[in-house]
Amino acid sequence: MQQHLLGSPSRAVASSAMRLHCSATSSVSSSPSNSPKAISAVKQPWLLVGLGNPGKLYEGTRHNVGFEMIDAISESEGIRMSSTQHKALIGKGEIGSSQVLLAKPQTFVNLSGESVGPLATYYRIPLHQILVIYDDMDLEFARMRLLPKGGHGGHNGP
């Protein structure tokens, strides 16, 4: 049996949500050999993935906090989650001056790689531009941690 969040899930998520500011990465482009190398900003899109399980059984549960966060970001930034691609509900837009792709994989949490990998490949999004939002069973409720990479967070799969 799933444990439901106290109060409205959207309110709980919104109250602990932080506005995400994405920054463009830089790359060095080569110029003629007799002049110095110029540095130009290359905007790479961000892939923000909210993990959860599809279906009414999991709505409002801690397990779907990733979906709730993507919904909150989508609403606050005016990004419509209007199409399905690579087994995910997606929305394209901007946060600040950065392009973002919001995604809610419609696979179960432990199978989300079937969606996230193909999305990252299709849109040519490097790993350092992917933010995965999910409930980490190793953290207390409403705690957030940002890591450059990590483990399974209590999701051990089948």
The catalytic residues are 63
Extract long-range pairs of 90-97: CB within 8 Å, 24+ residues apart.
90/119, 95/20, 95/21, 95/22, 95/46, 96/21, 96/22, 97/24, 97/43
Residue with tokens 């397990």, as numbered in its chain: 63
d(CA 58, CA 80): 22
Backbone dihedral region for residue 79 (phi beyond 0: left; psi -120 to 50: alpha; all else: beta): beta
Helix (H, G, I), strand (E, B) or coil at 27: strand
How do beta strands 46-50 and 38-42 pair? unpaired
> Shortest CA distance to 110 belongs to which of 58, 157, 57?
157
